[in-house]
Structure 1
Amino acid sequence: MTADIERVEALLAAMTPEEKAGQLGSYWHRPEDPGSGDVAPMEGDMTGPDSFEAAIEHGLGHLTRVFGTAPVSVADGVADLRERQARVQKASRFGIPAIAHEECLTGFTAYGATIYPTPLAWGAAFDPELVEEVAAAIGRDLRAVGVDQGLAPVLDVVRDYRWGRVEESIGEDPYLVATVATAYVRGLQSTGLVATLKHFAGYSASRAARNHAPVGVGARELAEVLLPPFELAIREGGAGAVMPSYAAVDGVPPTASHALLTTLLRDAWGFGGTVVSDYWAVPFLRRTQRIAADDDGAGALALAAGVDVELPETVGFARLAAGPALDQAARRVLLQKGRLGLLDPGWEPRGDDGADLDSPANRALARRLAERSVVLLANDGTLPLRAAGGGPGRVAVIGTTAVQPRTFLGCYSFPNHVLAGYDGDDLGVAVPTLLEALRTELPDAAVPHAAGAAITGDDRSGFAAAAALAAQADVAIVAVGDLAGMFGSGTSGEGCDAPDLALPGVQAELVTAVLDTGTPVVLVVVSGRPYALGALAPRCAAVVQAFFPGEEGGAAIAGVLSGRVEPSGRLPVAVPRTPSGALPTYRAAPLGRRTDGISSLDPAPLYPFGHGLSYTTVEYRDLTLGAASMPADGRVDVTVTVRNAGRRPAAEVVQLYLTDHVAQTVRPVRELIGYLRVPLAPGETRRVTFDVHADRTSFPGLDLRRVVEPGTFTLAAGPSSEALPVAAELEITGDAPRVLAGARVMTTPARVE
């Protein structure tokens, strides 16, 4: 590290202001073929230099998405990146290459690369260790072809289910988001790459769930709900990059917020990496935020706030003035290049032009994560289909979702992000459909299919055929949900915000038509957000939820339906009862929940956060505390016993919640402070112990300083936020609140015996 610092200081001393500014810019080559997919429909008048030569004249900070912009083979992508890096080095007096970055939210967003489940499915798995393993696999593929930085994970805590980017988020609980995202950071960076935290901060709290809309949250909600995931990923995950969000928070765009990017991020949290702008967020300060008169002014604002690199191309940073802010940003970029090895003497672009980006090992990982993310919401005993005594002889499969593989993939998967703009059905990888997977799972059953209705539109002409098929079957599997896209081209995804939480198109009517036949219906929802199922679920024999489970999603869902896979996913977001508007998340304060006599609206969900069934019965008993009280800086063991009382194995997600009885500010009725996936064989009993530090009870007080208050708390454990069969009271002692300054204990380790 000392050698890197010395090398960087020597470079800065020799560089002109133009060369320093060159390290803060980027270049994105996009195909000119008008028939190709447009992955950047918002660019408008915000494009950078006309040519690559002009962009690299004084050096270059980043190369944008060499692999992720058009369908290129590994060999062609490696050759293109190698050739561009050579030109960047030649244009630089000091031979400094660029950092190559790519999107990697559901895997490497490139043609032929494995498509893993979307982040909402990571949350449903409640399995940080597996997410870390997946991220490491993604990192190895990126690194194999010469990429240095990945633009993931997304740490936005879901605040409104209508927001199009819910699918990119991990869930509605900050602790779940924080722990899973930090695991992803560790996995990706274990391969030598830089992970990029998105979108700092407040983006998911936009008004009316509209993309890029203003954010009106107060400082307390920001500190308590929206910032902790970023803090954990920096303090304990060591994330190397942060991307500010587009949305203005209380009138200030994060891209221009010195308070967020410098005072908090660097001074308070000790972040030592780079801040990279979201795509065109710098010229947005002029174009949509209107806090700068021109692009140069926008660039000056962003640089002064703490932005180090402008992505995806150089617009506002094209003519930066010399001075300490320019030097500091260039220093940070060069230090990062040093850590990546880009400043090493004799550096040459790496890149395996024969790399297999969708290896059998990758697909096995994708399937494991998909299987663990599928949530069984309800079941009257119809599932599993291959229960003892045989299965159904005829299974009607209904719905477009059952035969359209793109419905398993998130908006940042290559097929939906890029290939959707091209002609043809080539997805680059094999994505077996649910229908194909069910026919494999149920070889002795007849498994016919009827589409019934499209994902969108109002065409009901297929209802009759679907109902007739169902009427002749022993059971009907009706698959409904989303088709992800970008900026209005899908029902879920970036810029695909929903007016309400009704299933898209006429899919709910299709389910009703099949239910009316009297045949038992298994409803399968494959989506990027939760949809209101209150009018449908009570009539169904079973309900299964999958959040864009990726290329192996068909096999995962079919495995759960057949019984080959034990269902173990849990809801990272609640499933609403009614489709109307915004609903509070489970961490609501008392007046945010049902209030008979105060409001006629009941916000209670149909299925709560953390809910999920298995094919067995797990019993909870004997929650005990290591001590009945502890000081405001102490810790206590919280132990709960779980027993599998059934005949099938299970993977129980044991959840621990905290309730603060009296506090100086309004607190949630309960909040998740710990969880652990626990495998249980039939008849097996295990004890799970959570190590709870007093810091885990802290919150921003009246003056916004974080405090641990003396008082009484309830610790409760169970299978969901609303099913907590065991509890105990804990007393935190002391005469006055303890004020926390600097780092604090942010996690609750758990062990199983």
Structure 2
Amino acid sequence: MRITIFFAAIASLLAPIATAGADPAPSERVRRLLAEMTLEEKIGQLDMPSHGGHYDPARVAAGRTGGVLNFGSPQEIAAIRALNAQSRLKIPLIFGLDVIHGYRTLFPMPLAEAASFDPAVAEQSTHWAAVESRAAGLNLTFSPVADLARDPRWGRIVEGGGEDPMLAGLFAAARVRGFHSGGIGATLKHFAGYGAVEGGRDYAPADISEGTLRDRYLPPYRMAVEAGVDVVMTSYISLNGTPTTASRRLMSDILRGEWGFPGYVVSDMNAIPEIALLGVADGNGEAAKLALEAGVDQDMDGEVYIAELAGLVRDGTLPEAALDRAVARVLATKERLGLFDEKPFDPAAASAVLGRADIRAASRALAAETFVLLQNKDDVLPIRPETRSIAVVGALAASQADTLGNNAARAVPAETVTVLDGLRARAPAGTRIDFVEGCDTACTSDSNFQAAAAKAAEADLIVAVLGEPQDHSGEGASRASLELPGRQTDLLRRLAATGRPVVVVLLAGRPLALSEAVDPAAAILLVWYPGSEGGHAVAETLFGDRDPAGRLPVTFPRHVGQVPITYDALPTARPGKVEDRYTSRYLDVALGPLFPFGHGLGYTRFTQSDARIAARKLGPDDRLTVAVTVANAGTRPGREVVQLYVRDVVASRARPVRELKAFGKLLLEPGEAREVVLSVPVRSLGFHRDDGSYVVEPGRFDVYLGSSAAAPLIGSVVVSPGYEAPPAGLSAERFEAGHMTVIGKSP
């Protein structure tokens, strides 16, 4: 019996799909409203003020506000709805909030969910986040983040799907589906290229070649659009010298013209006036005109459209038809979201949903899917039954806010289960759990190290909860250093000097340079920011109730000086060699990453054998198909992630040393073996030229199969003839996604 367990190749890496550039015809309701609205009411629909920003209740009552953001409590939202009911046309409002990884109940951060290598995890978590958000009165989230992030210094890497276009896109699309199934709309952000900011510095510019933009950075956004995302948000940056909020090419030509996006575009907060600060507009009036004409339909708390558009229309600088087009998009999106037909909102009903037991249970289960076991010397994990005393060290172990992570929406820290809470709840009867802080979360002082080490020396096992406090991650949290913050490495060495095994539980929102931690640590379990029930999930994993099955969605460098370091780098004519100075390497850092993309251990051992490529000669309409037998050679059940990588060996331009093209996850009992087949369309093996055309060139493609980006070569295929699609806007062809199937038990 063949069971498809996961679709894992990506049509969106291929030639753009041409769709009509014109907006869909407006409905009768939208046409009627446009005919009835005054100029001021139209402009009001293009305004989205924020709580604590430019929100004006009088404008709501006058029908001059299209939506609001950052009003998170049901009572606040009910009051604003009542104000809007006083307006002349009673056009429903958008109520938006950054529901990045939950509303009241928090789930793991998006980067952590990508580590599950299972988009169903993200789809489930966003479903429950939407259920809570909907109950609170929200109807739109500003998520998913589809910014491909290849520089871990950038703080917002935690909000997206990592460094690989396919993986990031699959998770962005899954999050759209989850929000929709839970009852709210989704906003794709930040379009486009925000994750490529120079030096990993938030808000810095990005410069991306056309081929790289289309091959790497655009596909995750594209997949979210194809999943039906409702709204698209611009970014703060300039891309190749043009502010994205003023980019007609991005918002009109690509997003609408090539991809057929039917929703509306909103600026990021205050991004329209920042067009002038970027030196591309002479004041707010010109910034407003540039943004609207580029295709930005709504101004998020910038107050520029409200202040400038009426004058621009009245003096003829801006055609009213351009204004009407933006208003129609906003109204049509509200109509698609069902806002005109909403039932009355009862804020009192929210209390029965927020923090509900089944939602917290989902948070607990899904958190465990994201943990990555980076290291496990001498199988120190899971914790052995004979362990009778555990010393828990580190202020992060007891920090509720840091367990939740950043972008905490309306979570209540007091309801959070910390790692210390979880260990105390899960430890077997008779096992003592002692807690010693060692240092605070910033760990700037070593004054308490000696006392912490003395206490830890009395235990059978030390669990050191280290990593980044939540304010080290997210927006405005770029870091020049990737080491453990403060004096944490010194604390770890002091604990290791006791002679007791040290298990590091690592909280983090990005790849860290852990070279100084791997020797003193017996085991390292990366738990990211695990959310409201994270402490229980961590404890259950440490004790072996759950098997860590996460894999790294980002490469972990040895040192920040290696950054950017990604698994799919372009080749060099002189690959690094330790014995040869004149090769691509550093004098003072070992070659390669500390932990490669796709890496992750479990509590059992897997083998992959009898790998075979079905056909060695392929045409453009064929599929690259690989079969392999995967076996659990250990004594515990576990889940393996099979990963297929491909390299275009000789092409008209340098191609990455390998690219992830398919993957799948399967559960195997001890001694069980299954045959799996991974299948990838040949047309997904190509790349874009600078003119926007897409090509799969004939020639040899090497195939790698294994458990990380360090997978071994299993053979090659030859593609002939090749395939070519014309430049953007001319190809109407869609491409079938690849997948992995489980065939059955091996003989």
TM-score, reference length from structure 2? 0.90
Question: Structure 2: how far apart are the matches of 1:666 and 1:61?
Answer: 48
1:666 corresponding residue in structure 2: 654
Instruction: Identify the match of residue 305 of structure 1 among 294, 298, 305.
Output: 294
Task: State which drifts further: 363-372 or 633-642.
Answer: 633-642
1:438 corresponding residue in structure 2: 423
| Alignment root-mean-square deviation, CA | 2.2
Q: Which amino acid aligns with 1:675?
A: F
* Contact in 1 for aligned 2:100/2:109 (Cα 8 Å): yes
Matches within 5 A, 1:225-624: 225-235=216-226, 237-286=227-276, 288-312=277-301, 314-320=303-309, 321=313, 322-344=319-341, 348-349=344-345, 351=347, 352-387=349-384, 390-414=385-409, 427-428=412-413, 430-443=415-428, 444-484=430-470, 490-580=471-561, 582-591=563-572, 594=576, 596=580, 597-601=582-586, 602=590, 604-624=592-612
Q: Which amino acid aligns with 2:242?
A: V
Question: Structure 1: how far apart are the matches of 2:559 and 2:638?
Answer: 31
Identity rate, percent: 37
Count of matched residue pairs: 701
2:178 is equivalent to residue 196 of structure 1:
no
Q: Which amino acid aligns with 1:181?
A: A
Q: Which amino acid aligns with 2:597?
A: F
2:9 corresponding residue in structure 1: none
Q: Residues 444-463 of structure 1: CA distance to partner in whole angstroms, max 9, x if unpaired?
A: 32221221122325211011
Residue aligned with 2:240, SS: coil
Question: Structure 2: how far apart are the matches of 1:599 and 1:691?
Answer: 34
Question: Structure 2: how far apart are the matches of 1:697 and 1:22?
Answer: 47
Shift of 1:622: 2.0
Shift of 1:472: 2.1
2:200 corresponding residue in structure 1: 209
Task: State which drifts further: 352-361 or 689-698.
Answer: 352-361
Instruction: Identify the match of residue 61 of structure 1 among 62, 66, 87.
Output: 66
Question: Structure 2: how far apart are the matches of 1:341 and 1:313?
Answer: 27
Question: Structure 1: how far apart are the matches of 2:695 and 2:86?
Answer: 55
Comparing both chains, which one has the higher relative contact order based on Cα–Cα distances under 8 Å and sequence gaps of 6 or more?
Answer: 2
Task: State which drifts further: 705-714 or 443-452.
Answer: 443-452
Distance verdict in 2 for CA 1:727–1:600, change over 3 Å: closer
Shift of 1:14: 2.5
Shift of 1:428: 4.8
Question: Structure 1: how far apart are the matches of 2:79 and 2:394?
Answer: 47
Shift of 1:702: 5.0
Instruction: Identify the match of residue 102 of structure 1 among 71, 78, 97.
Output: 97
Shift of 1:384: 2.6
Distance verdict in 2 for CA 1:85–1:603, change over 3 Å: farther
Shift of 1:310: 1.1
Instruction: Identify the match of residue 39 of structure 2 among 17, 23, 34.
Output: 17
Shift of 1:744: 3.7
Distance verdict in 2 for CA 1:603–1:63, change over 3 Å: farther
* Contact in 2 for aligned 1:178/1:232 (Cα 8 Å): yes
Shift of 1:62: 0.7
Shift of 1:470: 2.5
1:749 corresponding residue in structure 2: 739
Q: Which amino acid aligns with 1:493?
A: G
Question: Structure 2: how far apart are the matches of 1:129 and 1:688?
Answer: 20
Q: Which amino acid aligns with 1:734?
A: P
2:731 is equivalent to residue 734 of structure 1:
no
2:43 is equivalent to residue 52 of structure 1:
no
* Contact in 1 for aligned 2:698/2:722 (Cα 8 Å): yes
Question: Structure 2: how far apart are the matches of 1:382 and 1:645?
Answer: 15
Instruction: Identify the match of residue 78 of structure 1 among 74, 83, 89.
Output: 74
Distance verdict in 2 for CA 1:462–1:332, change over 3 Å: same
Q: Residues 59-105 of structure 1: CA distance to partner in whole angstroms, max 9, x if unpaired?
A: 321121221xxxxxxxxx333322312322322x3221211112110
* Contact in 1 for aligned 2:363/2:532 (Cα 8 Å): yes
Residue aligned with 1:648, SS: coil
Unaligned runs of 5+ in 2: 1-22, 314-318
Distance verdict in 2 for CA 1:593–1:538, change over 3 Å: farther
Question: Structure 2: how far apart are the matches of 1:144 and 1:478?
Answer: 38
* Contact in 2 for aligned 1:283/1:316 (Cα 8 Å): no
Q: Residues 464-485 of structure 1: CA distance to partner in whole angstroms, max 9, x if unpaired?
A: 012112222222111111112x
Question: Structure 1: how far apart are the matches of 2:609 and 2:393?
Answer: 42
Shift of 1:330: 0.5
Question: Structure 1: how far apart are the matches of 2:696 and 2:306?
Answer: 44
* Contact in 2 for aligned 1:107/1:413 (Cα 8 Å): yes
1:39 corresponding residue in structure 2: none
Q: Residues 410-468 of structure 1: CA distance to partner in whole angstroms, max 9, x if unpaired?
A: 210137xxx9xxxxxxx355212212212232233222122112232521101101211
Distance verdict in 2 for CA 1:317–1:699, change over 3 Å: farther
1:71 corresponding residue in structure 2: none
Question: Structure 1: how far apart are the matches of 2:684 and 2:708?
Answer: 19
Task: State which drifts further: 80-89 or 471-480.
Answer: 80-89
Question: Structure 2: how far apart are the matches of 1:241 and 1:274?
Answer: 5
Q: Which amino acid aligns with 1:732?
A: V
2:85 is equivalent to residue 89 of structure 1:
yes
Matches within 5 A, 1:61-210: 61-67=66-72, 77-91=73-87, 93-108=88-103, 113-210=104-201
Question: Structure 1: how far apart are the matches of 2:583 and 2:25?
Answer: 66
Runs of 4+, deviation exceeding 6 Å: 1-4
